[in-house]
Amino acid sequence: MSFIELESLEKTFTIRRKEGLLKRSKREVRAVDGISFGVERGEMVGYIGPNGAGKSTTIKMLTGILTPSGGRLRVAGIDPSPSSRLRSGRGGPNRERTRLAQRIGVVFGQRTTLWWDLPLKDSYGLMHRMYRIPDARYRENLDRCVELLDLGELLDVPVRQLSLGQRMRGDIAAALLHDPEVLYLDEPTIGLDVVSKARVREFLRELNASQGTTVLLTTHDLTDIEQLCSRVMVIDHGKLMYDGKLAGLHAVGESERLLVVDLERELPPIEDVPGARFVRAEGPRQYLAFPASSSAAPLVAAVAAAYPLVDLSVREPDIEAVIAKMYGGTREERRESLM
Amino acid sequence: MRTRLYATVAAGGFRRHATYRVATAAGVFTNTVFGLILSYTYIALWDERPQLGGYSMDDALAYVWIGQALITVCGLMGGGFEEELIERIRTGDIAVDLYRPADLQAWWFSANLGRSAYQLLGRGVVPMAVGALVFDFTLPAGPGTWLAFLVAVALGSTVSFAIWYLVAMSAFWLLDGQGVVQVAWLGGLFFSGMLLPLNVFPGALGELARVLPWASMLQVPADVYLGKYAGGWQLAGAYAFQGCWALVLLGAGRAAQAAATRKVVVQGG
């Protein structure tokens, strides 16, 4: 049995809407529609999909905040769903919940677990008590997090005065003080600048390598996945659409990267470079699309050989675009975002 | 029980509020001014009707300043935490609270205990002292009465927490708790005796007001302070009244919390 195991997991929400004076209509939304997968101990997995695909709902079920409508769910051998905890009887619901919470860490990128008005270190003292972390272990883990996440200067600063990137690092540290075996990260790099993103990624890579922490990560940023995850799962409309390597996703999705070249002057469209497709031009700047699975190097060489090249950049397709391409042309507006 | 955890939460609640010094100063000022206005109103009233509700003029004035001191401690006009909790439910931040290995109600109770303790020191003592300087109102008979008063305040604060916690839980279903908050606010203002002591209320209305939970929040502590409970048995009865309401309402809050966490959608994200 896998460390994290989902079997035909479902979550249905009923949405009631007012129609006229007394009429109410009920509509069922299947936020998670029969998802099955297993994650082994020590894996680092990306869990991606467009907004409203069901990512956060899955995470909430895995942490035991939401009860599944159907299917089975096990995390470290524990069934996290609140209703099963209520049924389990022995020791009551709180014991199961505490048992699970001791073994998982959660970071919600858009929320914080830290005490807003108090210095950062106060929140860590709280974690110390909350997870009953032995003193020596607490010291050791805190020191490590402070060093790797560069929190030393921030410990005495009230959380409300931290920047988003600082707060995120503070939250990640808070989730790790009790040595969780699994770390769920819901959009850990959302809103962060490039430097902060890099630092967070570096830390997670190091954590996974040195502590063997299993990481499940949702994100909208493909670079997170590229740099961290050997495996990616794509979900859309509550269904698992893809489970495998990131490169494979690009192949399946036939996604394209964009080569942006700045020429010395305005020139006719570059249409004679093999493997590239001319998209559009803005004065001396031209946009060429090429398959995401192939290398940009030969393309750059070919363009540089034949044209007066001043500057260039490569744009990665975002996840929504990849998924939109993967599952047909029904989402034209998403493909636009490639442009 | 996880005493150390909840003690840490309570200490955090205390210090959180202690960081807002300007708000505290503004609160002290407001309480003092409001206390002066009510005092002169009561003086006019008790001049016309001496011994109204069994209170002497000095008792009535003490009652005014106890009320001002307890406004935030016992959440007479809002518990002081429910807006934050409702906001967390509305925005979905409550998800963070729910996955923690701690009980939601015990967590908020501890945080509120810390808040109450800070409010007692920060916003209770000063207006009461100012009132005592300006007016010659009744003071407790001795240290025993002060102690008995503090116990009644602690119980009153617990009942207040339980009421406001229930109010906040409604946000899981209503998504916008404002309506319920308004009703609870109005109910608290009237039935806590903040405007007029409950023993002044006439007839059936008075009978009713004196057995509702809001009576625990100001009327009972004030009567303990004024020594209106003759002997240990009467005092024990008053504590039992507060304790029963605390248990019933905390139990209702637990039931609401269980129902909410079992089936209600955590909003957003």
Least confident span in A147-156, A329-338, B249-258: A329-338
- Residue A330: pLDDT over 60: no
Residues of B with CB under 8 A from a CB of A: 2, 4-5, 8-9, 12, 15-16, 19-20, 92-93, 95-96, 98-103, 258, 261-263, 265-266, 269
Q: Which residue has the tokens 């007692």?
A: B120
Least confident span in A14-18, A126-130, B78-82, B208-212: A14-18
Residue A140 buriedness (CB in 10 A; 0-12 / 13-18 / 19+): middle
Mean pLDDT of chain B: 92
User: For residue A256, what pLDDT band results from cuts at 50, 70 and 90?
Assistant: confident
User: For residue A78, what pLDDT band results from cuts at 50, 70 and 90?
Assistant: confident
- Which residue among A108, A130, A186 sits closest to B101, beta carbon to beta carbon? A130
CATH superfamily membership of A4-250: P-loop containing nucleotide triphosphate hydrolases (3.40.50.300)
Count CB atoms within 10 A of the CB of residue A327: 16
Cα–Cα distance measured from residue A206 to residue B179, given in angstroms and rounded to the nearest whole number: 50
pLDDT of residue B243: 98
3-state secondary structure of A138: helix
pLDDT of residue B259: 86
Q: Do residues A190 and A162 lie in contact, with contact meaning Cβ atoms separated by under 8 Å?
A: no
- Residue A42: pLDDT over 50: yes
**Average pLDDT, stretch A17-25?**
72
**Average pLDDT, stretch B70-97?**
89
Strands of A231-236's sheet in order across: A104-108, A182-186, A214-219, A44-48, A231-236, A239-244
Q: Which residue has the tokens 């070249």?
A: A261
List, in sequence order, the alpha helices (H) in A149-287. 164-176, 194-211, 222-228, 246-253
- Residue B224: pLDDT over 50: yes
Contact B16 A117 (CB under 8 A): yes
- Give me the amino acid identity at A129: R
Residue A143 buriedness (CB in 10 A; 0-12 / 13-18 / 19+): exposed
What B30-34 contacts at long range (C-beta under 8 Å, 24+ apart), as own/partner pairs, is B31/B68, B31/B69, B31/B71, B31/B123, B31/B127, B32/B68, B32/B126, B32/B127, B32/B130, B32/B131, B34/B68
pLDDT of residue A13: 83
- Residue A326: pLDDT over 70: no
pLDDT of residue A336: 42
Q: Is residue B269 part of a domain?
A: no
String of DSSP letters for B58-76:
HHHHHHHHHHHHHHHHTTB
| B227 phi/psi in degrees, rounded to 5 | 70, 30
- Residue A339: pLDDT over 50: no
Buried b (16+ CB within 10 A) or exposed e, A177-193: bbbbbbbbbbbbbbebe
Residue of chain B whose alpha carbon sits nearest to that of A85: B262
- Which residue among B12, B103, B262 sits closest to A83, beta carbon to beta carbon? B262
pLDDT of residue B217: 96
3-state secondary structure of A5: strand
Mean pLDDT of chain A: 85
Residue A110 buriedness (CB in 10 A; 0-12 / 13-18 / 19+): middle
Strands of A277-282's sheet in order across: A277-282, A285-291, A256-263, A309-315
Least confident span in A150-164, A192-206, B109-123, B230-244: A192-206
Residues of B in contact with A131 (CB under 8 A): 101
Residues of A in contact with B111 (CB under 8 A): none
- Residue A91: pLDDT over 50: no
**Average pLDDT, stretch B190-209?**
93
pLDDT of residue A332: 43
Q: How many domains is chain B built from?
A: 1
- Characterize the bridge pairing of strands A23-39 and A182-186: unpaired
User: For residue A28, what pLDDT band results from cuts at 50, 70 and 90?
Assistant: confident
pLDDT of residue B260: 84
Contacts of A259 (CB under 8 A, 6+ apart): A276, A287, A288, A289, A290, A296, A299, A300, A303, A312, A313, A314, A315
- Residue A99: pLDDT over 50: yes
pLDDT of residue B152: 97
Q: Do residues B127 and B67 lie in contact, with contact meaning Cβ atoms separated by under 8 Å?
A: no
Cα–Cα distance measured from residue A285 to residue A303, given in angstroms and rounded to the nearest whole number: 13
Q: Which domain holds residue B43?
A: 3-263
3-state secondary structure of A284: coil
pLDDT of residue B33: 95
Q: Do residues A179 and A141 lie in contact, with contact meaning Cβ atoms separated by under 8 Å?
A: yes
Cα–Cα distance measured from residue B157 to residue A172, given in angstroms and rounded to the nearest whole number: 36
Least confident span in A1-15, A135-149, B159-173, B233-247: A1-15
Q: Do residues A38 and A6 lie in contact, with contact meaning Cβ atoms separated by under 8 Å?
A: yes
Buried b (16+ CB within 10 A) or exposed e, B19-54: eeeeebeebbeebbebbbebbeebeeebeeeeebbe
**Average pLDDT, stretch B84-92?**
90
Q: Do residues A214 and A47 lie in contact, with contact meaning Cβ atoms separated by under 8 Å?
A: no
Question: H/E/C letters for each residue in A53-92?
Answer: CCHHHHHHHHHCCCCCCEEEEEECCECCCHHHHHHHCCCH
pLDDT of residue A167: 93
**Average pLDDT, stretch A293-298?**
85
Least confident span in A319-323, B119-123, B209-213: A319-323
User: Per residue in A143-184, pLDDT tens?
Assistant: 999 999 999 999 999 999 999 989 999 999 999 999 999 999
Contact B99 A63 (CB under 8 A): yes
Residues of B in contact with A56 (CB under 8 A): 269
Tokens representing A154 are 């921030």
Contacts of B6 (CB under 8 A, 6+ apart): B106, B107, B109, B110
pLDDT of residue A50: 80
User: For residue A337, what pLDDT band results from cuts at 50, 70 and 90?
Assistant: very low
| pLDDT above 90: percentage of residues in chain B | 77
3-state secondary structure of A318: coil
User: For residue B177, what pLDDT band results from cuts at 50, 70 and 90?
Assistant: confident
pLDDT of residue B58: 95
pLDDT of residue B133: 94
Picking from A15, A117, A132, A190 by the largest number of B CB atoms within 10 A of its own CB, the best residue to mutate is A117
pLDDT of residue B205: 93
Cα–Cα distance measured from residue A323 to residue A220, given in angstroms and rounded to the nearest whole number: 12
Say yes or no: ipTM exceeds 0.95: no
Contact A112 B8 (CB under 8 A): no
- Among B89, B65, B143, smallest CA distance to B256 is for B89
- Residue B121: pLDDT over 90: yes
Cα–Cα distance measured from residue B51 to residue B125, given in angstroms and rounded to the nearest whole number: 27
3-state secondary structure of B238: helix
User: Per residue in B7-55, pLDDT tens?
Assistant: 999 999 999 999 989 999 999 999 999 999 999 999 999 999 999 999 9
A–B interface: beta-carbon pairs under 8 A: 72
